[in-house]
Amino acid sequence: MTATAKPTYKRRQYWVDAPLQLQMVAFTLTLIAVSLGLTAFGVYQGLQESARQSQQIFHSIDWIDDTLRAPLLLTSAISLLAGGLLTLFWSHRFAGPLRVLSAGIARVRHGNLGVPVRVRETDAHQELAKEFQGMQDDLRKMIEADRERVAAAVAELETAEKTLHEGAARGHVEKALARLRQTCTQYHL
C-alpha cells in the first residue's frame, strides 16, 4: 500500500505583500527596541540608586557602565535581529494566504470557478480559505443547476421552433434561444 503525499504549495517569493510585511516588521522592531531601551534604562537607574543608597560600591558607576554597555548592545542587536526575522516569517504566513484569497476573488469576479484556493496547513486564515472554497463550490453547483435548467429550456424552445411556421413567433423563439445559449457560456466551471 503506497501512501499518497500531500501536495505542498510553495510561494516563489518571500515578500508576498511587501508593504504589509514591512509594516509588521517595523512595528515589531519598534516594540522590541522600546522594550530594550526601557530595560537598559531600568538597569542603569537601578545601579545608580543602589550605589547612592549603599555607599559601599566596589566599582565605579563608569566602570559598570562600560562593562554593561557591550553585553546590552549585543543582546539588543540579537533581539532585534531575531525579532525581525521571526516577524518576517510570521508576516509571510499571514500575508501569503491573503494574497491567494485575493487572486481567488479576482478569478471568481471574472467567472472562473474552476481553480481552487490552496493555502498551506501552516498558514494563517485557514478558516477563511475554507469558507471561500465552500462558497466557490456552492456557486459552481448553483451555476451547474442553472445550466441544466437553461439546457432544458433550450431543448423545449428548439422543439417549439421546429413546430412553428415561418413568422413573427419563430423570430422571437430564435432570439430567446440565442440568449439562452449565450448565458451558458460565460462561466468557467
CA gap 99, 21 in Å, rounded:
12
> Does 5 reside within a domain?
no
pLDDT, residue 54, reads 67
Q: Please give the model's pTM, rounded to 2 decimal places.
A: 0.53
pLDDT tens digits, 39-80: 888 777 777 777 676 666 566 667 777 777 777 778 888 888
> Does 7 reside within a domain?
no
Count CB neighbours of 11 within 10 A. 14
> What's the mean pLDDT in 128-146?
88
87 & 169 share domain: no
Contact in structure between 9 and 119 (CB atoms under 8 Å): yes
- Domain residues for the domain of 151 are 123-189
The last residue of a domain, from among 77, 110, 143? 110
> Does 3 reside within a domain?
no
> Does 98 reside within a domain?
yes
106 & 130 share domain: no
